[in-house]
């Protein structure tokens, strides 16, 4: 690297997250180039013991694929790592772990052409202030539901999809990434366990951003079972991102 000795605390947090949460899911599956680097870094961390000794390959990859990290300034955001540009082309198995997949289908009211739109989502963003734990859970589920806008027809080049015929399918990932905006994190009652479209999730880790510095905290099973709910000011008043790992009920949820 051209700037030896300069690293990102956000990337260090991502490596820690991979080592403690994601690592076991990367065994015995086909990996793309990015997740091969992640897997090898986790294996090296297992032997060497500290993230500082294994960060170079992943740090170099992220810098080369995300402009906000390449500049090495304070504008870099942790959730920027979770993007298609960083992850690269993913297998279906990798997508099932990390990507929320949405499929929308309708027909054009003008030409009757079938319209199919697929969307891959890496991070969910919650911006509503003053949510109770139940309201927060509902807002997460509602984020997956289709809006009322007509689908865009590539033939007619208009938003002319028939809303009454809209079919909406959602495949939830094993790991659901949720980012809370800074103006609402002090006013949310955040559940440590939650149900999203019949899939049950529990908190696995939180990443904190304070004074432009990122740190990570893991939540163990004892904490999750003994404290089913926690007020955001107790644990999350300066936390910006939360991660969930799912015990999935069905793999696919269908709405509409």
Q: Where are the domains of the chain?
A: 1-98
Using CA atoms, how far apart are residues 144 and 169, in angstroms rounded to an integer? 9
- 120 CB-side CA count, 13 A: 17
Nearest to 180 by CA among 113, 237, 96: 237
88 — alpha (psi -120 to 50), left (phi > 0) or beta?
A: left
Q: Per-residue pLDDT tens, the chain, 256 aa: give them.
A: 334 445 677 788 888 888 888 888 898 899 999 999 999 998 988 887 766 678 888 888 988 888 778 766 666 778 888 889 999 999 999 998 889 898 899 999 999 999 999 989 888 877 777 777 777 777 787 777 777 789 999 999 999 999 888 888 888 888 888 887 666 666 666 677 777 777 778 788 877 776 667 777 776 533 333 233 322 222 222 233 444 444 333 333 333 3
The two tokens of residue 128 are 């509503």
Query: Would you give the DSSP letter of residue 153?
Result: B
CB atoms inside a 10 Å sphere around CB 184: 16
Using CA atoms, how far apart are residues 188 and 224, in angstroms rounded to an integer? 18
CB distance 219 to 207 below 8 Å: no
């Amino acid at each position: 690297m051209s700037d030896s000795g300069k690293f990102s605390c956000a990337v260090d947090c991502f490596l820690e997250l991979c080592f403690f949460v994601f690592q076991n899911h990367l065994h015995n599956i086909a990996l793309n180039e990015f997740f091969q680097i992640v897997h090898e870094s986790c294996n090296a961390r297992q032997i060497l013991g500290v993230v500082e000794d294994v960060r170079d390959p992943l740090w170099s990859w992220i810098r080369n694929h995300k402009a906000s990290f390449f500049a090495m300034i304070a504008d870099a955001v942790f959730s920027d790592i979770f993007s298609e540009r960083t992850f690269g082309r993913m297998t279906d198995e990798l997508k099932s772990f990390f990507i929320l997949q949405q499929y929308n289908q309708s027909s054009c009211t003008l030409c009757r052409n079938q319209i199919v739109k697929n969307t891959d989502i890496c991070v969910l963003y919650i911006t509503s202030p003053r949510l109770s734990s139940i309201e927060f859970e509902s807002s997460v589920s509602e984020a997956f539901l289709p809006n009322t806008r007509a689908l865009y027809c590539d033939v007619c080049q208009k938003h002319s999809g028939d809303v009454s015929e809209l079919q909406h399918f959602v495949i939830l990932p094993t790991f659901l990434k949720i980012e809370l905006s800074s103006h609402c994190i002090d006013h949310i009652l955040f559940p440590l366990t939650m149900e999203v479209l019949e899939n049950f999730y529990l908190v696995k880790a939180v990443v904190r951003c304070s004074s432009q510095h990122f740190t990570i905290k893991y939540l163990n099973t004892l904490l999750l079972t003994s404290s089913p709910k926690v007020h955001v000011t107790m644990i999350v008043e300066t936390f910006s991102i939360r991660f969930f790992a799912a015990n999935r009920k069905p793999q696919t949820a269908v709405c509409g």
